Amino acid sequence: MTTPWPPRRTARRSIAPRVAPPREPVDRARIGRRAVRSRAKGMDAGAIAQALEDTRFFARQDSRHEELADDVRGRAELAEWERIDQLLAAAPTGTVYNPDTDDVVRAELAAEAAAAAAREAELREAARVATRADELQALRELGTLEQTEPRDGDEAARDELARRAGGYVQTDVDAWLAHALAAHRGHYGDLAAREAAAGLLPPPVLAHAALLAELARLVPSAGIDELAFAARLSTSEPEAAGALAAFLARVGGAAEV
């Protein structure tokens, strides 16, 4: 069945500039804890206790100065000395502090590594989406988007194109995805991908796809002009379009019985 497409846009659009990811803010508390651990390494309980007393003394001195009263790093260092002091107090006599065997430190490092890996994965995914959005934009300019098979992640590329356009709906991209979803083209040939689309595509696109699928089933010979209303109805009244698709599905099901 031949299905309608929005008018092709011939004006070339510039590809949005890539923005460098923001730098991670400086964590002064973490810096303070690491400084304490580095200094405390190899100290026994007596040396740790003395270092704790010295830190408490300087903390009291700093509290008298308004510009130092809210020192995040200083508070973190004091808390870390107190923790290590308690740790060695409960350890056998003669034990020296070793951050490599400190369960708290190891858990913290593991959490930081996991967070760093997650950030790296997010950056890779963002780069992949941006690259795919560039590809789809190029296909639009060539006028061959409608012949392109969609693939996993194109829903995110659609969102990226809309973001680049200031949030405006990209009707040709939405129509392309709706047609592909209705016809089970590309990755939508997989049932799991079609089910996932319900949470990845906006209601107008889903309603358009559902309506196209039912119209194609009921009237396989329908031409482009006859189905042009589907996109307009789905955009302006997605709930009505979805209800119509459900109604047509019931009608078709009753006719087959």
**Confidence band, pLDDT 50/70/90 cuts, at residue 139:** very high
Residue 98 pLDDT exceeds 70: yes
Residue 82 pLDDT exceeds 90: yes
d(CA 242, CA 209): 9
Tell me, what's the pLDDT at 89?
A: 93
Burial class (CB in 10 A: 0-12, 13-18, 19+), 254: exposed
Tell me, what's the pLDDT at 10?
A: 41
The angle at the Cα of 37, spanning 36 to 38, to the nearest 5 degrees, equals 90
Tell me, what's the pLDDT at 15?
A: 47
Tell me, what's the pLDDT at 257?
A: 44
| pTM attached to this predicted model | 0.69
d(CA 32, CA 21): 26
Tell me, what's the pLDDT at 232?
A: 87
Q: What percentage of the chain carries pLDDT values higher than 70?
A: 85
Question: Higher confidence at residue 193 or residue 169?
Answer: 193
d(CA 60, CA 77): 13
Structure confidence by residue, pLDDT tens digits, 191-214? 999 999 999 999 999 999 999 988
**Confidence band, pLDDT 50/70/90 cuts, at residue 101:** very high
d(CA 19, CA 41): 41
d(CA 28, CA 33): 9
**Confidence band, pLDDT 50/70/90 cuts, at residue 250:** confident
Structure confidence by residue, pLDDT tens digits, 112-134? 999 999 999 999 999 999 999 99
Mean pLDDT over residues 164-178, rounded?
A: 91
Lowest model confidence (mean pLDDT) among 43-47, 55-59, 130-134: 55-59
Mean pLDDT of the chain: 86
In this structure, is the dihedral angle defined by the CA atoms of residues 141, 145, 147 and 151, taken in order, positive or negative? Answer: positive
Residue 4 pLDDT exceeds 60: no
Chain centroid offset of residue 202 CA: 17
Lowest model confidence (mean pLDDT) among 16-25, 48-57, 76-85, 168-177: 16-25
Residue 230 pLDDT exceeds 50: yes
Question: Higher confidence at residue 16 or residue 100?
Answer: 100
CB distance 162 to 170 below 8 Å:
yes
In this structure, is the dihedral angle defined by the CA atoms of residues 205, 206, 211 and 217, taken in order, positive or negative? Answer: positive
Residue 102 pLDDT exceeds 80: yes
Mean pLDDT over residues 77-95, rounded?
A: 95
